[in-house]
Amino acid sequence: MRIFSGIQPTGRKHLGNYIGAIRQYVDGQDRGDPAIYCIVDLHATSVSYDPLSLPRYTYDTAAMLMAAGLDPARCILFRQSDVREHSELCWLLCSVTAHGDLNRMHQFKEKSAHQRELVSASLFLYPVLQAADVLAYKTDEVPVGDDQRQHLELTRDIAERFNAAYGETLVVPRHRIPEVGARIMDLQEPGRKMSTTGGTEAGLIYVDDEERAILKKVRSAVTDSGSEVRRAADKPGVSNLIDVLAAVCGAPPERIESDFAGKGYGDLKVAVADAVVEYLRPVRERYLELRPDEAALERALAGGAERAREIASTTVAEVRVAMGVGAPAG
């Protein structure tokens, strides 16, 4: 079974990234044959960004993934732009992608609303490149957060439409979304997903935050009226803290609710803060060891790109033949 997923090099990674995506990557690296993980720097150029910071963010992300447990010897870890087949396949897949489908993408609507000077064509085509990332490796399983569900469904539609038009060539992937912690919310705005874009600094727990910062952020997290520790639609703050503790402890949310029966929000916050600190400590310490050696990080990414290209180039060659693009075979 082939596993593939990509992650944006958008600076420091937060708890939502770690629980919703990175932890799944680590769990999957020994199940995949192979497991393939991509730092999607081309995607990062679809919105306003700092070109001087992008290489640094890529190394930040590579070091964080490796600190979390990804081993370049046991999986394929690479930088998206090093494998040009992604870009070519994106263009080829545009021929079987409906304009209306792209126009309905939630993330395009949200991100384009924040682009004051230019809404780029690359932002509009972002889901097609994402589909190319996945389909280039004939991926069976894609570990993603709940926010990527719509994009993965479009990827499936593109693969099915291509196969119907040109013959069975691409694998139709399935998603793998964690049952607990699939959507960690901002601690200060629990109606909003925890995110480095549009979120609040006090509402974000970064994986490399100092312990004191984590304790302060959790203790100042927004809660709700009442005092009962339980999940409910009218208790988004408390519900989020319960979900965080459940994900970190590996327990169902119902057990957390049961454990805190008769206790208050203060008790919950203390438990969440202590659990998150212990949960992230080994990752933070390992990250600080790995990050300074950029030459080693570059070697790992370059080696992964070579292995990724062997697979992607075969898929693109098959797609070109199926579509009649380029010199005829033989």
Residue 309's alpha-carbon distances to 5, 38, 296, in angstroms, are: 15, 12, 20
Provide the mean pLDDT of the chain.
Answer: 91
Other beta carbons within 10 angstroms of residue 211's beta carbon come to 15
Annotate 161-192 with b (16+ C-beta within 10 A) or e (fewer).
bbbeebeebbbbbebbbbebbbbbbbbbbbee
Q: What confidence score (pLDDT) does residue 262 get?
A: 85
> Does 182 or 253 have the greater pLDDT score?
253
**Secondary structure element (H or E) that encloses residue 5, with its range:** strand 3-7
Which DSSP symbol is given to 13? -
Q: Please, what are the domains in the chain?
A: 3-176+294-323 (3.40.50.620), 201-288 (1.10.240.10)
Q: What is the mean pLDDT of residues 162-191?
A: 87
Residue 200 has pLDDT above 90, yes or no: no
Lowest mean pLDDT among 99-103, 135-139, 298-302, 326-330: 326-330
Q: Which residues contact 113 (CB under 8 A, 6 or more apart)?
A: none
Q: What is the dihedral of CA 210, 215, 221, 224, to 10 degrees?
A: 160
pTM of the model: 0.89
Q: What is the mean pLDDT of residues 173-181?
A: 74
Residue 135 has pLDDT above 70, yes or no: yes
Whole-angstrom distance, CA of residue 58 vs CA of residue 48: 16
Whole-angstrom distance, CA of residue 78 vs CA of residue 84: 12
Whole-angstrom distance, CA of residue 280 vs CA of residue 211: 9
At 230, the pLDDT band (50, 70, 90 cuts) reads confident
Q: What is the mean pLDDT of residues 211-234?
A: 90
